[in-house]
A and B are shown apart, each in its own frame.
Chain A
Amino acid sequence: MSLWDSLGVAWTALRSNLLRSILTTLGIIIGVASVIVLVAVGSGARSEVEKQIASLGSNMLVIFSGSSRVMGRSAGAGTDRPLSEADMTAIREKVAGVAAISGQLNGSGPVVFGNNNWTTTLSGVHADFLSVRDWPVVSGRDFIQQDIRGTAKVAIIGQTVVKQLFQGSDAVGSTIRVKNTPFLVIGVLAIKGPSSFGRDQDDLVLLPMTTARNQILGKSTLTTDQAGQIYIKFDPATDLKDAQEEIEAVMRARRKIQPGAEDDFNVRNLAEFMKARTEVLSTMTYLLAATSITSLIVGGIGIMNIMLVSVTERTREIGLRMAVGGRRRDIMRQFLVEAITLCLIGGLIGTALGVGAASAVASAAQWPVLISPGVILIALAAAGITGVFFGFFPARRAAGLNPIEALRSE
């Protein structure tokens, strides 16, 4: 008996019990659909997080002033000692493996070009800022030391600002007014997309640290060498854990923090932070995977159950098939093909539902959803394997029937 014949027989048998066949495959349908949805959503989320990690910069530590005990210390924020350029110098001198270092002093204010104006984040940065953050410039140029030293009135702007002020046309070479001071746009940043917290990372204007501190963000509270947050990029070979400890030691010494007292600054590895999020995501993915495997198993048991019923109901038919020359392996194959067909049909329906649901999630939640053909293949293979695994026992029972008794059964 050819495989094609077996398929024909299986199809006829399944169709003659259509409602039962459909109900039986529900478990498989749900299992496969959930596998596809979770992989699509999960891999979408993961690729998003990976993009964010990349936008944070690799091999990078950042120092904030303030305690890690945010809740306990928030009232005393003003008392925190700000980070300074002297701190940067000390770190550069005393910590091993520092490749580049930059402060970032943040404020906000309006920027104007022609009739357009836009309120955005204004950041004073040092010359190495973009290389520390791994932020490329898509047109124009990066800051150079002279811009900082000479308090140049130059700016590098993000894509959101380009969109708001220049309607997307090339901004390099134009002059914008930042808090009424004219600045020459020397560069435009590549698009980075929203951060993990939903903040628009493209909505900012970068200015030389000196210019920003002295002329734009200038408030009485700023000290003369205040640096905001300090971003430090390390050589690829550097162990960031060691580097972090070294920085903490340097900073504690500079700030004369007594042994046992808490830091009033904070060193973080943002990429590690994000990786932790990825791990949470993986854990969730595993949990969901376990759920879908469970539903595949439950579905498989349903299939096995109904196949056993089918073998019992069709005992006479099996006897007849044996009487007219069906070998055990023909009978075995017939029932296996039937179980596998049932599972694969469930798999196909589940795939359709899963792809539909994933697409719905994608458009509803603005969440990136990746549906790869590989996932569909894996889901279908899982359904097929379920069929083989749970179809085997009923098929073997059918093939093991004694033809004489089978023919005589009611």
Chain B
Amino acid sequence: MSAPQAVRDAKPATKQAPGLAAKVLIRAENVAKIYTMGEQTVRALDGVTFEIAEGDFVAIMGTSGSGKSTMMNLIGALDVPTTGTLLIDGRDISKMDADDLAEMRNRSIGFVFQQFNLLARTPALRQVMLPMLYAHPRPVDPEGRARQRLSQVGLGDRLDHHPRQLSGGQQQRVAIARALVNDPKILLADEPTGALDSKTSEEIMGLFSKLNEEGLTVILVTHEADIADYAHRRVTFRDGKIIDDVRQEKRATKHAAAGGAS
């Protein structure tokens, strides 16, 4: 099949798989995030080093308080590390100001949230157009692009539907279309199936697998093992450190086609 397939085949054995053909998309070097609450300091991340290659499908796991959410916030350029360097697509976010971070999020990262985070009383098409409002320069045909992304996630016939008129799975698909609309480098999903039933969860995960096969880097933050099974690599956090980092190849192929309609 295509290049992503080859990338996947090339990797299973190695742990920190970057090597070979794939370009390193995210590189964390000794990243720490320390919160100070009164006299107490909390080391949410305590010297984390790892790399994620372009085209990979990574599940970040860990219990509450393990540091996985903090890691996600950093990878999502929502926050900057206290110490260490974090390169995303070749740029060090630890040296960025708020505007640069916003631009990075706009251009390189697509967010998918547990609670979908759609705007109330806004049709699907407008939801998907939202990130393009903040893009510089503005895309040429924002509406056409949004329409195309909605078809891509199988909602080509729901352009005018408001969140209330859509099922949970459909809402999450709108959110995924929104995440894709600016052609990001990374799709960053935070418990994307946490609010969905198991059948819908499978469909959504199938969609992620399909997008990953098409070449998109997908990072999944979850505490559910069977959701993490869809990924090719599983990184587990505990107490602000990576305690496990394994390659896996289980369910991905089986559900790859279950996703969108396009």
Contact B78 A403, beta carbon cutoff 8 Å: yes
Of B56-64, B115-123, B224-232, B245-253, the one touching chain A: B115-123
For residue B178, CB closer than 8 A to chain A, the reply is: yes
Q: How far is the CA of A316 from the CA of B178 in the complex (A)?
A: 16
Of A92-100, A254-262, A319-327, the one touching chain B: A319-327
User: A300-334 interface mask toward B, CB cutoff 8 Å, 1 = contact, 0 = none?
Assistant: 00000000000000001101111111111110000
Interface bin, chain A: 20 to 34
| Closest-CB distance, A319 to chain B (whole angstroms) | 8
Q: How far is the CA of A323 from the CA of B189 in the complex (A)?
A: 12
Contact A5 B133, beta carbon cutoff 8 Å: yes
Q: What's the count of A-B pairs with C-beta under 8 Å?
A: 60
For residue A16, CB closer than 8 A to chain B, the reply is: yes
Q: How far is the CA of A407 from the CA of B102 in the complex (A)?
A: 15
Contact B105 A323, beta carbon cutoff 8 Å: yes
Contact A324 B98, beta carbon cutoff 8 Å: no
Which of chain A's residues 268-326 have a Cβ closer than 8 Å to chain B? Answer: 316-317, 319-326
- Could you say which residues of chain B place their CB within 8 Å of the CB of A317? 119
With contacts A1-B133, A407-B117 taken as known, whether A324 is within 8 angstroms of B105 at the C-beta atoms is yes
User: B115-140 interface mask toward A, CB cutoff 8 Å, 1 = contact, 0 = none?
Assistant: 00101111000000011011100100
User: A320-355 interface mask toward B, CB cutoff 8 Å, 1 = contact, 0 = none?
Assistant: 111111111110000000000000000000000000
Q: How far is the CA of A320 from the CA of B116 in the complex (A)?
A: 10
- Could you say which residues of chain A place their CB within 8 Å of the CB of B78? 322-323, 403-404, 407
- Could you say which residues of chain B place their CB within 8 Å of the CB of A404? 73, 78-79
User: A1-18 interface mask toward B, CB cutoff 8 Å, 1 = contact, 0 = none?
Assistant: 110010000001000100
Which of A16, A324, A327, A403 meets B130, CB within 8 Å? A324
With contacts A322-B102, A324-B178, A327-B102 taken as known, whether A1 is within 8 angstroms of B134 at the C-beta atoms is yes
Which of chain B's residues 177-191 have a Cβ closer than 8 Å to chain A? Answer: 178, 182
Q: How far is the CA of A328 from the CA of B101 in the complex (A)?
A: 11
Contact A324 B106, beta carbon cutoff 8 Å: yes
Contact A321 B79, beta carbon cutoff 8 Å: no
Which of A5, A16, A321, A330 meets B121, CB within 8 Å? A16
- Could you say which residues of chain B place their CB within 8 Å of the CB of A322? 78, 102, 105
With contacts A16-B121, A320-B119 taken as known, whether A326 is within 8 angstroms of B134 at the C-beta atoms is yes
- Could you say which residues of chain A place their CB within 8 Å of the CB of B121? 12, 16
Q: How far is the CA of A67 from the CA of B131 in the complex (A)?
A: 85
Which of A12, A16, A316, A330 meets B134, CB within 8 Å? A330
Q: How far is the CA of A316 from the CA of B119 in the complex (A)?
A: 9
Contact A16 B133, beta carbon cutoff 8 Å: no
Contact A325 B79, beta carbon cutoff 8 Å: no
Contact B111 A321, beta carbon cutoff 8 Å: no
Q: How far is the CA of A325 from the CA of B61 in the complex (A)?
A: 26
Contact A327 B134, beta carbon cutoff 8 Å: yes
- Could you say which residues of chain B place their CB within 8 Å of the CB of A320? 117, 119, 130
For residue B141, CB closer than 8 A to chain A, the reply is: no
Which of B113, B119, B134 meets A325, CB within 8 Å? B134
Contact A326 B102, beta carbon cutoff 8 Å: yes
Contact A328 B98, beta carbon cutoff 8 Å: yes
| Closest-CB distance, B67 to chain A (whole angstroms) | 14
For residue B234, CB closer than 8 A to chain A, the reply is: no
> Taking CB as reference atom, which chain B residue is nearest A329?
B99
> Taking CB as reference atom, which chain B residue is nearest A399?
B98
- Could you say which residues of chain A place their CB within 8 Å of the CB of B214? none
Q: How far is the CA of A183 from the CA of B138 in the complex (A)?
A: 88
User: A367-406 interface mask toward B, CB cutoff 8 Å, 1 = contact, 0 = none?
Assistant: 0000000000000000000000000000000000001100
Contact B98 A327, beta carbon cutoff 8 Å: yes
Q: How far is the CA of A327 from the CA of B134 in the complex (A)?
A: 8
- Could you say which residues of chain B place their CB within 8 Å of the CB of A2? 138
| Closest-CB distance, B60 to chain A (whole angstroms) | 16
Which of B79, B99, B131 meets A324, CB within 8 Å? B131
Q: How far is the CA of A272 from the CA of B172 in the complex (A)?
A: 79
- Could you say which residues of chain A place their CB within 8 Å of the CB of B102? 322, 325-328
- Could you say which residues of chain A place their CB within 8 Å of the CB of B99? 327-329
Which of chain B's residues 61-105 have a Cβ closer than 8 Å to chain A? Answer: 73, 76, 78-79, 98-99, 102-103, 105
| Closest-CB distance, B151 to chain A (whole angstroms) | 20
Contact B73 A325, beta carbon cutoff 8 Å: no
Contact A323 B133, beta carbon cutoff 8 Å: no
Most A C-beta atoms less than 10 A away, residue of B131, B178, B182: B131
> Taking CB as reference atom, which chain A residue is nearest B104?
A325
- Could you say which residues of chain A place their CB within 8 Å of the CB of B178? 324
Contact A325 B122, beta carbon cutoff 8 Å: no
For residue B145, CB closer than 8 A to chain A, the reply is: no
Q: How far is the CA of A320 from the CA of B79 in the complex (A)?
A: 14
For residue B107, CB closer than 8 A to chain A, the reply is: yes
User: What are 27 A-B pairs at a CB distance below 8 A?
Assistant: A16-B120, A16-B121, A316-B117, A317-B119, A319-B117, A320-B119, A321-B134, A322-B105, A323-B78, A323-B105, A323-B111, A324-B105, A324-B106, A324-B111, A324-B134, A325-B105, A325-B107, A325-B182, A327-B98, A327-B102, A327-B103, A327-B134, A328-B102, A330-B134, A404-B73, A404-B79, A407-B113
B residues apposed to A, CB below 8 Å:
73, 76, 78-79, 98-99, 102-103, 105-107, 111, 113, 117, 119-122, 130-131, 133-135, 138, 178, 182
Sort A-B residue pairs by CB-CB distance and give the 5 closest, nearest first. A325-B106, A325-B134, A324-B131, A327-B102, A320-B117
A residues apposed to B, CB below 8 Å:
1-2, 5, 12, 16, 316-317, 319-330, 403-404, 407
| Apart from A325-B131, A404-B79: 14 A-B pairs, beta carbons within 8 A | A2-B138, A5-B133, A12-B121, A16-B120, A324-B130, A324-B131, A325-B102, A325-B103, A325-B135, A325-B182, A326-B102, A326-B134, A403-B78, A404-B73
